[in-house]
Amino acid sequence: MNTLTLQRHTQLLEVLEMPQLMDTCVRNGYYEEALELAAHVRRLEKKHSTIPVLMSIVEEVKSSTQLMLSQLIQQLRTNLQLPACLRVIGYLRRMEVFTEPELRIKFLQARDSWFQSILDAIPRDDPYTHITKTIEASRVHLFDIMTQFRAIFSDEDPILSSMHEDIMPESSLFHSWVVQKVSQFLTTLEQDLERGIGGRLDSLLGQCMYFGLSFSRVGADFRGLVAPIFQRAALRYFEEALKEANKKFEENMQSYNLLGLTTSGGLNYGASQAGQLYPPTVLLDFYPLAAYCNHVLTAFNDLRLCAPINLACQVAEALTRSLQEVNRIILAFHRAEETTFNQKEQAQFEQFCATYAADLLPYLNRCLQALFPTSQLSLMLGVSTSEIGRMGNIGLVDLPLILSQVDHLILKVEEETLLLNHLHSPPHYLNLNHLYCQPHSLSQNHLYCQPQSLKMNHLNCLPHSLKMNHLNCLPHCLNHQTSLHQSKQHRTLFWNQLPQKLKPHKLVFRRQRPTLYLKLSLLLQVSLENGQVGNRHKDNVCQ
């Protein structure tokens, strides 16, 4: 017996050193040799399962095999490239520890654990920085994991999956994981948008759309799920900006002095730019209105960078609520200060309300039209632009609704002005080609609409009391083809057609007086009604 043992000493030593050799291979990463040794031990176990010493060796080798399994799975939790992933999954398959579905689950769990550690390492102090880095990490690493999975488990190909219905439950594991990762990203995106990212919504939208486009190459395009999130965020930021504008307006009204200095006298820098959305310079006379307009324009500019067309009505409704709050503040100011108003303050407050109604409100509607053009609305709704106009205030503020709350505070003389400013086209009885220049004291925006009974080709700006039968003595040179700066012959013709009793001793025509014809016409009215013109009127004509 001892002789036989001595003869088999080498073989016995190899068997007894198998656990140590297995441990050495596993700890040094020689997984190929470790797998061959483990397979040899399993064969010995089948042949000599009754030998206690051999069974103890088998148990020690199994312990080392378990260590190798842990190391291989741990490698999947690192930044592993596709070739290394293929080797690791190959080792796991040869170990015959997991079934095919279990192996897929283990792969996804391990890779997801590593990906989650990448996301957790991103600082959360600044929401914009956090979401941008999350987008970049998700776009790069999730795409790599999906590519690795589809390469390792080739039956995830859509064509193969349709040919083998029995593997569909296994392939659904991958689809469920992708959906879960996309949902997790969308939740993070919405949370960071709620925290606020400033005015960089357009930049973030571009990154998200590029992220979704990259996923379309693996059949997971989620750009349609991103759009509603940005719509809600854009509307929420706009509403917050309007709340801040209302807050500042209320603070300004509490400290507003109606007799403060006006500032718009010489500021006409925006008037010469046709088609530009410059704010009315008359707002500078009333600081609360100007400040409110600035806040709303800031909100419009932020919204303009990311303004989905289907937000048109919601934006108009939000602005309507803000303007109703402005009305409430104006009415509260009037109730509190009305009893202490003197004549100048009362006139200034009425002018404040008239400017609010005639200048600020129409200007805000023009901004809405620039933000959401009627052509785009008609394209989205599938109707013509004319039908959009007949539908009502789609995407616009309902001005009659807003004005109904403060109309009793507006100057009566401004009522016709408001009517003309809000009409899309002039009434049929008002020929705009025949309007004369108004006197310097009358703003060019304040053109009066005449009643239906006054059907004239010119002089629409004259008072209502000027009847048709009083115009017989007016010269033909006052028609719509004649400007105020006529040649000397036309002025002479005008002079010759005046009644003799209206001619002063000396009349000096100056090119710098564009309102001369209008003054003379007004004097004609006085003459025809009263039958005479005093010396004071004659002096005015001469001047």
Q: Tell me the pLDDT tens digit for each residue of 26-62.
A: 999 899 999 998 888 888 888 877 788 888 888 888 8
DSSP string, 39-99: HHHHHHHHH-TT-HHHHHHHHHHHHHHHHHHHHHHHHTTS---HHHHHHHHHHHHHHT-S-
What pLDDT shows up at residue 405? 86
Cβ 227 vs Cβ 307: under 8 Å: no
Q: What dihedral do alpha carbons 123, 127, 130, 136 form, nearest 10°?
A: -170
As a whole number of angstroms, the distance between CA 148 and CA 195 comes to 35
Instruction: Please report where in the chains the tokens 């999956």 appear, as a residue.
Output: 161
Mean pLDDT (the chain) is: 75
What tokens appear for 125 in the block? 């102090």
Q: Is residue 235 scored above 90 in pLDDT?
A: yes
**Residue pair 108/177 in contact by the 8 Å Cβ criterion:** yes
Rg of the chain taking only CA atoms, in angstroms: 43
Q: Which residues contact 163 (CB under 8 A, 6 or more apart)?
A: none
**pTM score > 0.75 for this model?**
no
**Contact of 204 with 197, CB cutoff 8 Å:** yes
Could you tell me the pLDDT band of residue 143, with boundaries at 50, 70 and 90? very high
What pLDDT score does 56 carry? 86
Of residues 286 and 494, more confidence is placed in: 286
